[in-house]
Amino acid sequence: DADVTQTPRNRITKTGKRIMLECSQTKGHDRMYWYRQDPGLGLRLIYYSFDVKDINKGEISDGYSVSRQAQAKFSLSLESAIPNQTALYFCATSDPTDTAYNEQFFGPGTRLTVL
Amino acid sequence: GEDVEQSLFLSVREGDSSVINCTYTDSSSTYLYWYKQEPGAGLQLLTYIFSNMDMKQDQRLTVLLNKKDKHLSLRIADTQTGDSAIYFCAENAGNTPLVFGKGTRLSVIA
């Protein structure tokens, strides 16, 4: 079974709808991240959490919110989706005590299309 | 803030060597990484190098680090069609999330 799972894998929605993307991990890591990937723009950090009580904004947090429900779960919400939020979204985890080189482990991604 | 730059595309013939280059700005980076993203998948760590090293070799992969110029490169020897992917350079400058470059799409021509 995959260590980092994301649901749904694909989602098509309409402008103005509220959307939640979910991420679960079985690695026991404290740190979790949400990124979006756009062609030519690479990976951009939306939010990150270093433990259950810690939430931090990344470089592109406007229009997004997150919830860290438990160590294993980190959800990303789009309160009112807009077309320029169409992208591939990745969740990742890490634990600096797990590997000295602080590897990040990625989920398979959620492809979101906002019409 | 930190910035990581890499070219967007590279095309090579099967059997040739590929060299993907990256520059970064944060001189306090402790680790630098190469991640690989295959079509339809998430990123996976390919290799990494500690900042006090200038070279690391792992089978067909060679990583070179020039700290003075803040330049990192990834050489793939005997490139195969299965190496076609997007390669991301990333840096770790302490207790912060990794900073990724925009990714280099490597196309291998048979």
In whole angstroms, what is the distance from residue B5 CA to residue B73 CA? 12
Tokens of A114: 């906002």
> By C-alpha distance, which of A3, A1, A6 is closest to A108?
A6
Interval B28-80: pLDDT, tens: 888 999 999 998 899 999 999 998 899 999 999 999 999 999 999 999 999 99
3-state SS string over chain B? CCCEEECCEEEEECCCCEEEEEEECCCCCCEEEEEEECCCCCEEEEEEEECCCCEEEECCEEEEEECCCCEEEEEECCCCHHHCEEEEEEEECCCCCCEECCCEEEEEEC
The band of B108, judged by pLDDT with boundaries at 50, 70 and 90, is very high
Nearest CA in chain A to B38: A108
Look at A43 and B44 and tell me if their CB atoms are within 8 Å: no
Single-letter amino acid, residue A20: M
Single-letter amino acid, residue B61: L
Look at A42 and B100 and tell me if their CB atoms are within 8 Å: yes
Question: Would you list the DSSP string of chain A?
Answer: --SEEEE-SEEEE-TT--EEEEEEESS--SEEEEEEEETTTEEEEEEEEEETTEEEE-TT-TT-EEEEEETTEEEEEESS--GGG-EEEEEEEE-TTT-TT--EEE---EEEEE-
- Point out the residue among B50, B88, B95 whose CB comes nearest to the CB of A43: B88
The minimum CA-CA distance between A82 and chain B, rounded to whole Å, is 23
- Which residues of A touch chain B, with CB atoms under 8 Å apart? 4, 33, 35, 40-43, 45, 48, 58, 90, 92, 96, 101-104, 106-109
- Point out the residue among B31, B50, B101 whose CB comes nearest to the CB of A42: B101
Would you call B95 an interface residue with chain A, using a CB distance cutoff of 8 Å? Answer: yes
Look at A104 and B45 and tell me if their CB atoms are within 8 Å: yes
- In tens digits, what is the pLDDT along chain A, a chain of 115 residues? 679 999 999 999 999 999 999 999 999 999 999 999 998 888 999 999 999 999 999 999 999 999 999 999 999 999 999 999 999 999 999 988 877 788 899 999 999 999 9
Residue A20: beta bridge partners? A77
Look at B42 and A107 and tell me if their CB atoms are within 8 Å: yes
Residue A66 vs residue B3, higher pLDDT? A66
- B-interface mutation test, from A104, A105, A111, most B Cβ less than 10 A away: A104
- Point out the residue among B50, B95, B97 whose CB comes nearest to the CB of A33: B97
